[in-house]
Every structure is written in structure tokens, then in C-alpha cells.
Structure 1
Amino acid sequence: MPAKDSTSGTILIATILCVVCSLAVSAAAVALKPYQVENAKLDQKKNILDAAGIPKDELGKPASELTSKKIDSLYTWIEEKMVDLDTGQYNTEFDATTFSLEEQASNPKTSEPIVGDPYDNGEDRRPKTMKVFIVRHEGEGPIKQVVLPIYGKGLWGTLWGYLALKSDLETVQGITFYQHKETPGLGGEVDNPNWKSQWDGLKLYDDQGDPTAYVAKGPAPDDDPSAVDGLSGATITSRGVTALVQYWASEQGYGPFLETLKKQIEEEAAAAESPSSAGNATTKAGA
């Protein structure tokens, strides 16, 4: 055993300390992993609910101020569905509970190149299949909204978020970004509640059906129903948000699915108004 005050003794003690600390950190990381996963799932639910405006409408406060129990309760309004982006049809082969957008988008086997013409979100690839979120009041009745995962390049990296549409599928309900690298106080203002509130009621398409929602350069024109205020000092981030929203609203993104969903909403509405439905409702009421 070398002397403690010798060079070899110092190196030995330092090595032992490094090994012990590494083992402690590794053990802590393994032990905390389940909690990190659960917290990530909870954060996802909060962003989806906030995009849909459910916590604010029902309880008068954002999801961040609610307990996990209340979040889980409100999330029963949400139905997770897998969608083939090319056909716009539901895909029942994928398990929505294990779907990872980031993994699917980066895997060449589960994604395809982004053409970039005429719409471009700045990314190289998009998943062939995406998870979407159907909203019904307390999980029942007609479809009230749909929440769509969106992503695209900002100034410093990819912005990941959710875009919620009202039941006409042409009007924005809300938008949230749960992960990004934008500069605090500039591009990072995509998290600002006041700025996000401007998206509620925004017109997503023009009269020809082309994506038209955008972030203006400076204040949004008062007579433009498709514009929100620009992010001060964050021109590139503003352009990135415009590009990613228009891309995912286009035929290259969710366009085919929104057509499918529109038909589903119309069919459900027709079925609810049919004489047989009315007769069943009367029978149940009489019983």
C-alpha cells in the first residue's frame, strides 16, 4: 500500500473516489429513470391539454397549476390514434402507447424524406405514421377538437409542439411547444402565454384551402385572421414557426388525415341526427 502523501497514493485515492462517485451517480440514474419517464409522460399530457384549452376552459387555470390526478382525469377526454400520413387513414398496427415521435422521425425504416416543396419545416424526415389526439367532451359525444404533434427548425434547433384544431378542422384552438433551444426572451417567447393565446381562433387555411396561418413580422395586421404577432428580435424563429405550422397543415403533413377526420365528424353528426338515433334516445329516456 503506497503512502497516502505519495504521488501513487494520491492517484489511488482519486481513482477510488472516481469509481465510487461514478457508481453512485449510475445507481441514482437507474433508480430515477422510472420517475423521469413518468414525468415526461405527464408533461406531454399537460401540453396536449393546454393546446386544446381544456384546463383553462374547465378549471380556469393552465395544466401546470393542476395536480397529476386532475391531469389524468382531464386526459380521459383524449383518445390516442395512430394515422398513416400518406393515406390519411387510421393505422391499427402500431401501439400508440409505445410510439416515440423523435425515434420514428430519425429511423429511415419508419420515416420518409421531406420534399420541401412547396412547404418545408426545415427538417430532413418525417414519420410515415403519427400519433394524433382526438378530443371529446368527457371522452364521449361528438369530436370537439384534434391535437396534432408538430415539429420543425427554429434558430438553434428543432421546436417540438402540438397544434390543436377546433371541430371544423380549419380554425386553430391553441399551440404549445414542449421542447426547443430558442433564446430566452427572444425566440423562447414561443412559451409566452400571451403570445400563444393569439392562436385561439386563427384561420388555418385561405379560401382555396392552402395553409395560410403565419407569424407576422412585427404586429399582426388587424384585418388578417391568419396572423399572430411576430416574436420581437427573433425573425428566424418566427419564420420557423410559420414554416412548420404550414407544412403540417398541408397535404405533405396532416392534410389527408384531416380530410378523413372531416368525413368522420360529418358521419357521426349525421348518425346522431338520424331518426333511429332519435328513437333510441327516446326509448332510453322512457326506460
Structure 2
Amino acid sequence: MSKSNDSFGKTLGVVVGLCLVCSLVVSGAAVSLKDRQKLNKERDTQRYVLEAAGLLDKTSGDIAETYDRYIDARVVNYDTGEFLPQIDAASYDRAMVSRNADTSIKPEDDIASIGRRANYGVVYLVNDEAGDLETVILPVHGYGLWSTMYAFLAVEPDMNTVKALVYYDQGETPGLGAEVENPRWKAQWVGKKLFDENGELAIEVVKGGAKPGDIHGVDALSGATLTSNGVSNSLNYWLSDQGYAAFIEKVREGELNNG
């Protein structure tokens, strides 16, 4: 009986010891890879921003160098539309901030199902070779069928003409909702107008297809009604007073500054 107990005790000791060693190895690996993972995430963001800006062909294999040359990331106050130069855009974590009740709000009309909206967000100003503003990129997100979909909306300085809509993180159905990343669908957005002649939001994802010549309409995704609705709801939310409306107005009035 004692030998059996001794055998069980030794086995248990080996198992516990092995578990401790494995946990230390895993923890050590996680810590050592944290900086690498952060850098990879940063590079992914930069690549998608450059794609939205139409600058990927100028990277020459160096994403960071091209990004630093053309892109000026700024933190903006959604409610006032003003820049917050005291906050570093590179280290500002909108997702983390939005989970804090002290630094975010619960939208009154949460049509995009975002849950909470951070008080501040990051916008990307794209400059040409002469340093003049060429494109403004607005991060937008909202819920589709299965997931929250994240995208970059690139517009001309008139804050009305779409240059690109690039989805970079989504978990929709492959072959259906995931077609938000299909180049042919994305190409439809180029040149579309966000607002009508009265300044009212008019961009629309049209079920059954937009009519020829419709400057506000983009074809809905075939067989993916809820994902298409999610795209529309995201834009309707983020281009409204709850999102970038104040910032858009300041840009239009020429109040964009380098503060």
C-alpha cells in the first residue's frame, strides 16, 4: 500500500513539475514576443492605411518608411472636431479607451452596434510630395452578421468624394459577407459622393444593385443582406453627429490646422 502511495505521489509530483515548467515557458514566450506582436500589428495598420491612401505602390518594400513620409496620424475629439496634439496618435489605443466608461460614451442611437464610442479617435492625413493635403482617412467600424467589421474610409479633401473603402478586419461568411474585401466590390466606392447637394448623408448600399449613374449608390453584397446593412449602418453612424461630423465640417471650412 505504501509503495502504491509513493508511486502516486511521485507521479503527481512529476505532473505538477511539468505543468509549472510548461507554464513558465509559455509565459516567457508570450512576454518575449509581445514587442514583436505589437510591431506586426502596427505594420499591418500602416499597410492598410497606405492601401486606402493608394500608396502601396510607393512602398518599395518598406511600409514604415513610406508611411512616415506621407501619413500624418492625428487624434481628434469627435464632439468638437479639433485635434488633440498633446496625445500621441501612435500610442493611442482607441479600443482600450472605448472600454473605459470615463473616456467613452454609450451612443444614443447605436445603429452600428459598436457598444461604446471613445471620446477621441485617430484620423490619418495623407500629404502629397509637396506636403499638401491629398486624402483624409477615417477609421469606421460596425457590426455585420457575425462580427464587428473594421475599415478605413478614404475621402478627398472636399470630405465628400470617396477614394477608397478598405476593410481590414472582419469575420463575415467566406464567399458572402467576406466579399467586403473583394477588389471588384471595393472598386465601386471610388468616386462616390457621401453627401447630397443639401449636405445630407446620401451614401447607400443598395439591395438589388445601384442604378447606373447613381453617385451615392453601391451594389449590396449578393446573399449577404445583414453584412451589407452593417456597412451602411457603419457609415451612417460614423459620418453623423455621433462620429466625424464636427471634424468634417472643420475641414470643409478650412479650419484644418497642424496644431
Contact 1:45 1:75 in 2 (8 A): no
- What's the Cα RMSD here? 2.5
Aligned-pair CA distance for 1:73: 2.1
Task: Give the match for residue 119 of structure 2.
Answer: 128
**Structure 1 residues 119-172: Cα deviation after superposition (integer angstroms, max 9, x where no partner):** 72222321211111111113x432111001111111122112211101211011
Larger mean CA deviation between 41-50 and 177-186 belongs to 177-186
Aligned-pair CA distance for 1:251: 2.2
**Which secondary structure does the structure 1 equivalent of 2:48 belong to?**
helix
Aligned-pair CA distance for 1:70: 4.1
TM-score by length of 2: 0.89
Contact 2:176 2:223 in 1 (8 A): yes
2: distance between equivalents of 1:266 and 1:248? 19
Counterparts of residues 111-190 of structure 1 (less than 5 Å) = 111-116=104-109, 120-138=111-129, 140-190=130-180
2:40 maps to amino acid:
N
Task: Give the match for residue 221 of structure 1.
Answer: 211
**Which secondary structure does the structure 1 equivalent of 2:96 belong to?**
helix
User: In structure 2, which of residues 58, 81, 92 is the aligned counterpart of residue 99 of structure 1?
Assistant: 92
Task: Give the match for residue 33 of structure 1.
Answer: 34
Tell me whether 1:89 sits opposite 2:82 in the alignment: yes
Contact 2:47 2:63 in 1 (8 A): no
Q: What are structure 1's unaligned runs of at least 5 residues?
A: 269-287
Aligned-pair CA distance for 1:205: 0.9
User: In structure 2, which of residues 173, 186, 196 is the aligned counterpart of residue 196 of structure 1?
Assistant: 186
**Structure 1 residues 179-237: Cα deviation after superposition (integer angstroms, max 9, x where no partner):** 22212222111122221121111111122212221222133322311122211221111
Percent identical among aligned pairs is 38
CA 266–133 in structure 1, closer or farther in 2 if over 3 Å, else same: closer
TM-score by length of 1: 0.81
Task: Give the match for residue 275 of structure 1.
Answer: none
Tell me whether 1:256 sits opposite 2:256 in the alignment: no
2: distance between equivalents of 1:161 and 1:191? 10
Aligned-pair CA distance for 1:85: 1.1
Aligned-pair CA distance for 1:79: 0.8
CA 156–96 in structure 1, closer or farther in 2 if over 3 Å, else same: same
Tell me whether 1:235 sits opposite 2:220 in the alignment: no
Q: What are structure 2's unaligned runs of at least 5 residues?
A: none
Aligned-pair CA distance for 1:50: 0.8
Task: Give the match for residue 109 of structure 1.
Answer: 102
CA 78–185 in structure 1, closer or farther in 2 if over 3 Å, else same: same
2:46 maps to amino acid:
K
**Which secondary structure does the structure 2 equivalent of 1:264 belong to?**
coil
Contact 1:146 1:167 in 2 (8 A): yes
